[in-house]
Structure formats: C-alpha cells, structure tokens
Amino acid sequence: MKAFVCTEFGPVDNCAVEEIELRPPDDDQVLIEVHSASLNFPDALMVEGRYQFKPPLPFSPGMDLAGIVREVGTNITHVAPGDKVIAFSGHGAFAEMCLAPRDKIVPMPAGMTFDAAAAFGITYSTAIHAFQECGRLQPGETVLVLGAAGGVGIAAIEVAKAMGARVIAAASTDEKLALCREKGADLTINYNSEDLRKRTLELTDGRGADVIFDPVGGEYSMTAFRATAWGGRLLVVGFAAGDIPRIPLNYALLSERSIVGVFWGAWAARDVEGQRRNLATMARWFTEGKIAPVIDSTIDLAQIPEAMKRLMDRKVKGKVVVRVRKA
C-alpha cells in the first residue's frame, strides 16, 4: 500500500510517499481503509522528533482519520467490516490502510462526509472536553479563544457557542477574524494590532473573560490570564507559538483564577465512556447544524510537506484534509 513515510526525524521534506507492507490487525486492533485524514499540529512536531511521543522509525504520521473497517481483531465487537468509522490512530493515518487500537475507533456520525469526519475528530473532541470537564463552562459565560482561526480554535468557537457561551475570538489577521465571525464568534480581537488585555476588558465591561481557551502559549497566555474575570479559568491547550509561558501565581490568587491543563488524548484513554458521551453530543450538534469543520484545503499524500509548512507558518485556517482515496 501507499503511505507517506518518515524514515528519520528532521525536516518534513525528508519524508516521501512509498510502497510499504500491510500488517494484519492484532486481537485489539482494527484495520481501516483510509478515505480522508487531517493534519494536526503535532504531526509536524512528530516528524521533526519534537513531539512528546516518538514512534519507532520508519513510520507514517497522521492521527485523525475517517474510513471503512476492513478487518477486525478477535477482541473487537463494537465495529465490523464495512462500517464507516472515525479513528484516532496516534500515527499511521497518512496511508491507504491504517491500524487503530480498539478504544480509538468510533462510528462515523450519519450524514458526515469522510472529509468532514477526518477534520472533526481531534479538534472538536479537544474543545468539548476542555470546556465541559476542564473549564466547567456555564451558559451565559464569556469565553476568549486564542488562535481562534486554527484547527482547535474554530472548534472551540463552535463548541462554546453550542454550550450557550458568548465568544470573543482572537487571532493575528483580520481575514482570520472574518472567518471566526462566520463561525459564530460574537466579538473579535486582532492581537497583532490591538492590545489583547485592554480590548478583552473593554469588550467585557471591565469584568474580564470567564474562560480562556489557549492553544497558543508564548506571550499571549499571561496577557490573556490577566484579562480573566473573578473565578476565571485559563485552559492550557497547547503551545503553537513555541514558548511555554511562566505565569506568576499572584495573578491566580488575586481574582481566585485557575490554570487548568487540558490533555484530551490522555483523558479519552482514561475515560472511554466520557469520550463516547462527548462524541454523541457532537454528533447531535452536527446534525442540528451547530458545528461543522472548516476545511482550508484538500490535498493528496504527496502534498503533505507543503501543507505542513503552511500550518507551521500560521497560513492555514481551519483544517487541511488529506484525501487518501476517492469516496
């Protein structure tokens, strides 16, 4: 089968599309014919050897996919050959076939295309878990989303709106912010040209935001944390800007604010039922038209290096989908 293969950690240009051997599933695995997969920020880090998890070489990156079950291991009962599924494979999704572990496979919601399903899994699961289990977001609260036009950012806007919050989207260009408004953001801040803290306070009548959704890190985290209301929560989702911020704890003490870590993948492995519940909620929101992933572009396996560079250069809005085979 064809796969996009990384043979050594380093620049993505060292990876190539190659023919590789297909392995049968073990007892707890499912073999999936991949139709669409999507790019996530950690894919680029994994290829460079900068991600927290380093797969044994050679490997195919790609952790978010939609396709059709072709073979199941002896312990698998919740899906069967022929089922359309979404899978979170850890790696291996940028290939014609992918092996995924039992607990990381769910039926594809009715009415979804393979492209939308591949663009939906990780980002929307992260957003709902962040707001529900970590941030305990309440209807009527104000959420500030950083990096709001990125993959998890767009998902955060839609999920927060679906949960009844008021959303302020913050991003680096007016074009990105226009997309955020289309996806439901009530208000926007361009953090390249406006003072993030001052504008957040102005837009909340001096109170500050109740919940900050932060996949960016760097200098933005502390600025946003200081624009949090009494009892506010900073959801630490990621560090796309590269730097891991250090926040003086007096900012937490002064307004009884909390800093809450979000690690969706680890949580979903520990609370399989909770993740199933969240997916059911998201499938309902999708049917009701409340959430729908934004697809920036659709590419083939050979175009992954170019797309990964665009992602790292902040040029992607929403998700890049890799169409591995035609539907």
Interface residues with ligand NAP (CB under 6 A) are: 40-42, 122, 126, 147, 149-153, 171-172, 176, 215-216, 237-242, 262-265, 311-312, 314, 316
For the CB of residue 240, give the shortest distance to ligand NAP in the complex, in Å: 3
For the CB of residue 221, give the shortest distance to ligand NAP in the complex, in Å: 11
Element (H or E) spanning 282, and its range? Answer: helix 272-287
Which of residues 60 and 126 has its CB atom nearest to ligand NAP in the complex?
126
Which of residues 126 and 275 has its CB atom nearest to ligand NAP in the complex?
126
φ, ψ for residue 36 (rounded to 5)? -135, 150
- Which one, of 305, 315, 240, lies nearest residue 12 by Cα? 305
Alpha-carbon span 19 to 147, nearest angstrom: 37
For the CB of residue 317, give the shortest distance to ligand NAP in the complex, in Å: 7
Which of residues 239 and 251 has its CB atom nearest to ligand NAP in the complex?
239
Which of residues 20 and 45 has its CB atom nearest to ligand NAP in the complex?
45
For the CB of residue 327, give the shortest distance to ligand NAP in the complex, in Å: 24
Crossing angle of helices 272-287 and 114-129, in 10° steps, is: 120
Which of residues 73 and 274 has its CB atom nearest to ligand NAP in the complex?
274
Alpha-carbon span 218 to 238, nearest angstrom: 10
Which of residues 25 and 92 has its CB atom nearest to ligand NAP in the complex?
92
For the CB of residue 308, give the shortest distance to ligand NAP in the complex, in Å: 10
For the CB of residue 231, give the shortest distance to ligand NAP in the complex, in Å: 22
Which of residues 3 and 196 has its CB atom nearest to ligand NAP in the complex?
196
Alpha-carbon span 185 to 166, nearest angstrom: 8
Sheet holding 142-145, edge to edge: 187-190, 166-171, 142-145, 209-214, 228-236, 258-261
For the CB of residue 277, give the shortest distance to ligand NAP in the complex, in Å: 17
Which of residues 117 and 237 has its CB atom nearest to ligand NAP in the complex?
237
Q: 15 vs 139, 143, 253, 302, CA distance in Å?
A: 46, 39, 48, 9
Which of residues 142 and 275 has its CB atom nearest to ligand NAP in the complex?
275
DSSP state of 207: S
* 56 alpha carbon, distance to own chain's centre: 24
The residue number with the shortest CB distance to ligand NAP is 150
For the CB of residue 185, give the shortest distance to ligand NAP in the complex, in Å: 13
- Please, what's the b/e burial string for 273-307 (b: 16 or more CB within 10 A of its CB; e: otherwise)? eebeebbebbbebbeeeebbbbbbbbbebebbbeb
**DSSP assignment string, 295-318:** EEEEE-GGGHHHHHHHHHTT---S
For the CB of residue 27, give the shortest distance to ligand NAP in the complex, in Å: 28
